[in-house]
């Protein structure tokens, strides 16, 4: 009040740090605006990379789905062909057996006529 100024080391240090605090805050605010821009750019880049990553994951999932569908269709076609081949084989086997039986019957008749 009467012009008395506390000159104790603690008071001097406190005043110096208070002055530094204002100066530091000003510099921090200046730096924070440039940091803010850098952070904004980094955030934009990160968001772009995340979006690209998500798009690639979606494309991968779509390709996996297409692969599974194609694999399923190929397997079904293979089974159908196998069944068709088996059906043809069975039909041919049946025809062969019928012709063989007929041949054996005719051969037996011929043998029995010749032996008489």
CA dist., res. 64 & res. 84, Å (int): 30
Does position 8 have pLDDT exceeding 90, yes or no? Answer: no
> What is the pLDDT at residue 11?
59
CA dist., res. 82 & res. 72, Å (int): 15
Q: What is the pLDDT of residues 68-98, one digit of tens each?
A: 999 999 999 999 989 999 999 999 999 999 9
Q: What is the pLDDT of residues 13-50, one digit of tens each?
A: 555 555 545 555 555 555 556 677 778 888 899 999 99
pTM over 0.75: no
CA dist., res. 12 & res. 22, Å (int): 16
Half-sphere exposure of 107 (CA within 13 A, CB side): 6
């Amino acid at each position: 009040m009467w012009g008395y100024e506390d000159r104790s080391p603690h008071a001097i240090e406190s005043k110096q740090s208070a002055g530094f605090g204002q100066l530091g805050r000003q510099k921090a605010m200046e730096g924070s605006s440039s940091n803010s821009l850098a952070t904004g750019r980094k955030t934009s880049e990160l968001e772009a990379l995340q979006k690209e990553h998500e798009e690639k994951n979606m494309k991968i999932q779509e390709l996996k789905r297409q692969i599974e569908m194609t694999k399923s269709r190929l397997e079904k076609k293979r089974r159908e062909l196998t069944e068709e081949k088996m059906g043809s084989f069975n039909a041919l086997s049946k025809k062969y057996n019928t012709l063989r039986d007929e041949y054996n019957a005719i051969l037996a008749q011929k043998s029995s006529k010749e032996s008489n």
